[in-house]
Each structure stands twice: as C-alpha cells, then as structure tokens.
Structure 1
Amino acid sequence: MAGLNRSLSDLSKEPPLSSDVSGLWEALCGEAMDASSKDPSLTRTMNSAVLYHASFAQALAQRIAFKLANHDLDQDELLSVVAQALISNPDIVDHAAADLAAIKERDPSNAEILTPFLYFKGFVALQGQRVAHWLWHHDRIHMARHVQSRISEVFGVDIHPAAKMGKSIMLDHGSGLVIGETAIVEDDVSILQNVTLGGTGKESGDRHPKVRRGALIGAGAKILGNIEIGMGAKVGAGSVVVGSVAPYTSVVGIPATPTGRRHSGLPGITMDQTLAEPEYII
C-alpha cells in the first residue's frame, strides 16, 4: 500500500510542458462540479472519479483501474500498474488529454470533456491500450495481455498491446473495434464502430494496416493486410479494403475502389463524411 500511495503522489505532479493537460484538468473539474450541483445524487461519482484527485493523471489512472479491475487483479493492484506506466511515460497522459479534446471537438452529440472521460468506452479503452503498450515494451507481456483481455471483455474493443496509436484519436462508440499487432494509427484519426484493422490470413511479421494522419474510417469497414490508408483518406462504411488508399482519396465498396473527387483537408478532424461526386455518406 505504501508503494501505491507513493505512485499516486507522484502522479499529482503534471509532466513538463503540460499546459494543455492542466487546462483540460481545470475544465474537467469545473464540469464535474457543475454536474454534481445540478444532480446531487451524482456527487459521490464526481468526487471519486474527478474531484478527489490532485491531477488529471491521478484521475485517469483511477478511471482505467476502476473499469478494468476484476477478481484476478483488483483495483489497487491494477492502479499501481497503471500509475507506474503513466509516471514512466508522461506522453500517455498528454495523449489522453488530446484524445478528450478531439472527442469534444468532433462528436456532435457531446459538447464537454466530462462525458467521454466517464462514459465513452472508446476513450477509456484507448487509454488502457496505451498502458498495455508500455507494459509490452517493458517485458511485461502477460500483464499487457491481461489488460488487453480486460479491455476486450469490458468494452468490446480489442487492440493489440503492440499496435502503435497516435494522439488526438477518436474511437467513436468503439464497439466491435479490432486492431492488430503491427497496425499503426497516426494522429488526428477518427474510427467508427465495428472496424477491423486486420491481417489477411496466417502470415507473420508486419501484416496489418497503417492509417496515416487525419484519415476517417467509416462504420463497419474492414481494412486487411499490410497496406496504407493515406493521409486524409476516407474509407466508406462497410467497405472491404485490401489495397492501399492514396492520400486525400475516398474509397467505398467491396472491394473498395476510389470514388468522388480527390479532397483536401483532414476528414479525421472535420468529420466530413460526404463526397461531392457522387453523393455518398460514410
């Protein structure tokens, strides 16, 4: 318990150059206080999840541990593991803050930070994967597998611990998402539900997709093999993609083929799901 208390104390210190994290934490606390004042029955929830913590890092660690704990690894044991990862790699905290900001900006159903922090399984699942990724690369393979398994069981999101995830990522809904071991998802990407970034069979080695910055992946899309989804690309809902997609290009269908005019901008940020010619919504 002493080790756990020291870890939580260390988490009260925000990492250097964390003005964005500090600003987000202030906003999160303000939203939690407002929610508590409007509905006093939520006071205990807001206190334990947000207001009793000294920093965003502390609150984030507690949220991950609370959601993923079970009889195999209880909340205090898991909290110690998560805290160690966040202390050793402050980028996890920074990236989590960027993810929250991205959700607030992109999701038309949500205008705050508190709701995704508490309730959006795509957000919490991604932060758990960041912890599992740290464990994977510090020779704690079975602990990483444990965290991955719990994320899958609790949220229905299965992201391999070795997959490389950028920041400012929105996993909208999250349900049914599968991302394989050698996949890469860069910054500013948005992925909707029931998407697979998978392999094409029993091949080994580098075998999963690389999704470049600002791409938008529609619901139910299956992207298979060691292929590249270029910067700013759009993949239509229900499409099956087995070949690389050029930057700023939209693809739809089974198998997916280019459609419409080449666009500009980053649809992963703008959430622009339409095509000029022909009209199509992903």
Structure 2
Amino acid sequence: MSEEINLIWKKIRSEVKILSDNEPILSQFYYSMILRHQSFIPSLSFILSNILGNKMITNSFLQDTFEKLYFSDISLIKSVVKDMYAVYNQDPVINHYSSILLYLKGFHALQIYRMSHQLWKMGRKSLALFLQNTVSVLLSVDIHPAADIGYGIMFDHATGIVIGETALVENNVSILQSVTLGSTGKTIGKRHPTIREGVVIGAGAKILGNIEIGLNSKIGAGAVVLSSVPSYSTAAGVPARIISKSIEINS
C-alpha cells in the first residue's frame, strides 16, 4: 500500500484520538469506526457497510465484499484518498480528515458508487444495482453503476445528485447538491453529459444530453444546460448561456 495512504490513515487516527479525549461520550463510536481497525481499508469498509446493511444483506457480508475489492485493485483506495484531499482543500468547513470519513454523505455515496462501478465491470450487476438503489434511498444520491467518474471528486452536501448511465466525469470535478447529469430521453447510446477535468457545477444545475462541459468551466446554480460549454467558460441561466470566458494560462 502506498505511503500516501498510510500517511492519511495516521493523520485520521491522530485526529480521532484527540477528539475522543475531548468528547468521551463519543469514544466508543470513534473506537468502533476507526481506532479498532489496523488500517484504512478495514475502517472505510466498516463505515460504508454500516450505512448500507439491513435485514436482507448483512453488514459483515458487505464489509468483506468491499475489503476484497479494495485489496484487489489499489487504484480504488488511491481514488478515495484523492477524493478526501479534494474535500479537505476545497470545503472551508472541513478541518479534519476524520470528519470526511465519518460524516460526509457525499463522500460516502461516492465511495459506494466506486464499489458498484467495480462490481458492474466484473459482471456482478445485480449487486451493483442493489448498492445504487440503497444509496439512493438512504443518502438521496443516485449514480448509475455504469457511469464513469474520475478521482479528486467533491460532492458538496450531495442531496439530490443524479448521474446517469453513460455520463463521464473526469478528475477534480466539484458537484454541489441537486445537480443532474441526465438524458433528454431522445437518443440511445451515449446520451448523458461529459464533464471535463476541473469543472465546478453549482447547486441545482441540470446538464442534459450528450453534451460536453469543457475543461475548468463553471456552471451556475440552477442553470439548465442543453448544449456544450467551451473550456474555461462560465455558463448560467435557463436555458444556460455563456456569460464569461477566461484564457488558459500556460505555465
């Protein structure tokens, strides 16, 4: 496992030990979720499985499934760490990595999507769809397992995010609550948007159809985007129009 993963795990444990001392009533919670685990993967798998487990499928089965997926493909856990960095660096209310791991449902929904996507690619589509549906019901985030989402992603607040089957979201994208990456319902094949690297999508924006939001662009809150947006642009309104453009600066 990479040194980067070990470093963030040590940071999380250090934070939680201090938090536990400061708030003894939560000491058992912190112990169960983090301190009793020897490494990051078992802790994360335990946290995610406790969100999803019910009478029909046990926490222990889900935890074991998630751990096997993480250990079989180290890129999955590396994406988790990059997602955590994205949230820590961009969300001004976050000052502990442990808060991301324990409390942020957007982070949780994204990591469970990553599990469902891996299962989908393995042909385990029934379990992938089960995870999608359960997250939709419990966390109000609905991401089709076939959607392709990169790393360094921040779902801020996350409630109401919907991402369709053929959507592509590249790395380092920030998506606020109630955003839809949807289809117009008029086409087959690639029918959902492509979101290029560095894009920020404001709360309540709807981006519909096989269109592209270009590199480092911004979509305003409440915008309805029905046509492609060039790189380094800002689009807003209903229907959305380009309200500003910036010039790429080459270093």
TM-score normalised to the size of structure 1? Answer: 0.86
Could you say which residue in structure 2 is the equivalent of 1:223? 207
Could you say which residue in structure 2 is the equivalent of 1:43? 27
Per-residue deviation, 1:111: 1.3
Helix, strand or coil: the match of 1:260? Answer: strand
Aligned residues: 249
Could you say which residue in structure 1 is the equivalent of 2:115? 131
Helix, strand or coil: the match of 1:162? Answer: coil
Deviations 1:61-116 (A, max 9, x none): 11110111111111011112212211222111111111111111100111111111
Helix, strand or coil: the match of 1:54? Answer: coil
Q: 1:48 is matched by which residue type in structure 2? A: S
Task: Pick which of 231-240 and 50-59 moved more.
Answer: 50-59
What CA distance in whole angstroms lies between the structure 1 residues aligned with 2:61 and 2:29? 21
Could you say which residue in structure 2 is the equivalent of 1:210? 194
Per-residue deviation, 1:261: 3.6
Could you say which residue in structure 1 is the equivalent of 2:152? 168
Per-residue deviation, 1:232: 0.1
Is 1:195 equivalent to 2:144 in the alignment?
Answer: no
TM-score normalised to the size of structure 2? Answer: 0.97
- Paired-residue identity, %: 41
Q: 1:22 is matched by which residue type in structure 2? A: N
Could you say which residue in structure 1 is the equivalent of 2:162? 178
Q: Which runs of 5+ in 2 are unaligned?
A: none
Q: 1:217 is matched by which residue type in structure 2? A: I
Q: 2:140 is matched by which residue type in structure 1? A: G
Do the aligned residues in 2 keep the contact of 1:105 with 1:111 (CA within 8 Å)?
no
What CA distance in whole angstroms lies between the structure 2 residues aligned with 1:54 and 1:196? 38
**Counterpart pick for 1:66 among 25, 47, 50:** 50
What CA distance in whole angstroms lies between the structure 1 residues aligned with 2:6 and 2:18? 19
Relative distance call for 1:259 and 1:32 in structure 2 (3 A) is same
Helix, strand or coil: the match of 2:37? Answer: coil
Do the aligned residues in 1 keep the contact of 2:232 with 2:245 (CA within 8 Å)?
no
What CA distance in whole angstroms lies between the structure 2 residues aligned with 1:202 and 1:258? 24
Runs of 4+ in 1 over 6 A off after TM superposition: none
Q: Considering only aligned residues, what root-mean-square deviation do their CA atoms show, in Å?
A: 1.1
Per-residue deviation, 1:202: 4.8
Is 1:157 equivalent to 2:147 in the alignment?
Answer: no
**Counterpart pick for 2:219 among 230, 235, 239:** 235
Relative distance call for 1:29 and 1:246 in structure 2 (3 A) is same
Is 1:247 equivalent to 2:238 in the alignment?
Answer: no
Q: 1:169 is matched by which residue type in structure 2? A: I
Is 1:79 equivalent to 2:79 in the alignment?
Answer: no
Do the aligned residues in 2 keep the contact of 1:211 with 1:228 (CA within 8 Å)?
yes
What CA distance in whole angstroms lies between the structure 1 residues aligned with 2:217 and 2:131? 31
Do the aligned residues in 2 keep the contact of 1:229 with 1:246 (CA within 8 Å)?
yes
Relative distance call for 1:136 and 1:252 in structure 2 (3 A) is same
Do the aligned residues in 2 keep the contact of 1:230 with 1:247 (CA within 8 Å)?
yes
